[in-house]
Homo-oligomer: A and B are copies of this chain.
Amino acid sequence: MAGFWFTEKQTENFGITMKINRTLHTEQTDFQKLEMAETAEWGNMLFLDGMVMTSQKDEFVYHEMVAHVPLFTHPNPEKVLVVGGGDGGVIREVLKHPSVKKAVLVEIDGKVIEYSKRYLPEIAGELENERVEVKVDDGFMHIAQSENEYDVIMVDSTEPVGPAVNLFSKGFYAGISKALKEDGIFVAQTDNPWFKADLIQTVQRDVKEIFPITKLYTANIPTYPSGLWTFTLGSKQHDPLQVDAERFHEIDTKYYTKELHSAAFVLPKFVKDLTE
């Protein structure tokens, strides 16, 4: 199809709508409906089960903010795991940190990787890097089988529906803690406070039971519901707000800055209330 408008209903009563120049691919994979389209506003865009996942124009926000906040918090991240994230954007940012010797991507749906490589090359381009190991596998199972292995784990999942439902469970966070080394850090995307306040509260409560340092930070993602996205960070030892200034090496970004590293944790009052 060509030249039509696509609407994502972000809630029952509200959504975004955008002009699609042409559909690039549509497929029901083993896990979800995958659609890739060329949009007039955002460049090529990936949808899973009808929800915007990433676009060429605004992808940098999500990928930078998932990756750089925990990686600059950890004093020497060498081994990193990305759960989900088959588009490769988080991996691309992870590799900007010279300390990282190995970045493992565990994506359940190989089709996401395949079509991201084809239609989102600027995002997926580092998946072939020699420091990267790509596994098409169940992230929940991978976590369950890992112990004392990773410095940083990033959960780049869809919303808690379909294949991602296990990735928002207390058992998963306990598994992450076990898979992390003794000073490990994890971060997960945890949706938005306008429409999913309950989810944020639940995740904060669950993560706090497992990680002594649990904090929420935000970023503006214009193609995601409400434009205000949250990330939950759980850490065993290192506080993201107590990072030595000299740790912030130069890095090429479009959203993240070392000043924003801290400011992103300063929450609007109604969001802060969800964490208490």
Contacts and interface: CB of A to CB of B under 8 A. Distances in A.
Interface in A248-276: 253-257, 259-260, 262-263, 266-270, 272
A259 to B, nearest CB: 5
A226 interface: yes
A15 interface: yes
A13 interface: yes
Query: Chain A interface secondary structure, helix, strand, loop or mixed?
Result: mixed
A13 B18 contact: yes
A59 to B, nearest CB: 13
A194 B254 CA distance: 12
Contacts of A255: 268-270
A41 B61 CA distance: 26
A17 interface: yes
17 contacts: A7-B17, A11-B41, A12-B40, A14-B17, A14-B40, A14-B42, A15-B18, A16-B16, A17-B17, A220-B220, A220-B227, A255-B268, A255-B270, A256-B268, A257-B268, A259-B266, A260-B269
Shortest Cβ-Cβ A-B pairs, 4 listed = A227-B227, A263-B266, A13-B40, A222-B226
Given A12-B40, A220-B226, A255-B270, 19 more contacts: A11-B41, A13-B18, A14-B19, A14-B41, A14-B42, A17-B17, A61-B268, A194-B222, A220-B220, A222-B225, A222-B227, A222-B228, A226-B227, A253-B269, A254-B268, A257-B269, A259-B266, A260-B266, A262-B266
